[in-house]
Amino acid sequence: MSLKAENINERTKWQDLTEGLQIHEPATSGLFCTGEWRTQTPVWNRDKCKQCLLCVPYCPDSSIPVKEGQRQEFDYDHCKGCGICARACPFGAIEMDGK
């Protein structure tokens, strides 16, 4: 039996999970908080940001939401802390914090 990702929770028996908890259905990352193991956290400085949105397509986890053409705060539930956004920002508006 293969469980759907949306049905996996703290009461799910380990015997019902796939080996390595592999999920074989698409578009499920939004169902899980995958940023928990982050060792570095991106910090956005609004004053330095020019809203060029260059950081957005570089984020491999789509953790930089955009609303009405303006970038918003990071989605820390899914951000892995890779730092790609900080390296992509030409204005130094994103810095990585080791906390």
The domain that holds 75 is classified in CATH as: 3.30.70.20
- Whether residues 45 and 26 fall in one domain: no
Ranges of residues in the chain whose predicted pLDDT is under 50? none
Start-end of H helices in 1-99: 55-58, 84-88
- Whether residues 45 and 91 fall in one domain: yes
Q: What are phi and psi of 20, to 5 degrees?
A: 70, 15
- Whether residues 60 and 17 fall in one domain: no
Residue in this structure with the two tokens 């949105």, named with its chain if needed = 53
Range of the domain at 73: 33-97
Residue in this structure with the two tokens 């991106």, named with its chain if needed = 42
- Whether residues 48 and 92 fall in one domain: yes
Tally of domains in the chain: 2
- Whether residues 61 and 14 fall in one domain: no
Mapped onto helix, strand or coil, the DSSP state of residue 63 is coil
* pTM for the predicted model, two decimal places: 0.70
Q: What is the pLDDT of residue 52?
A: 97
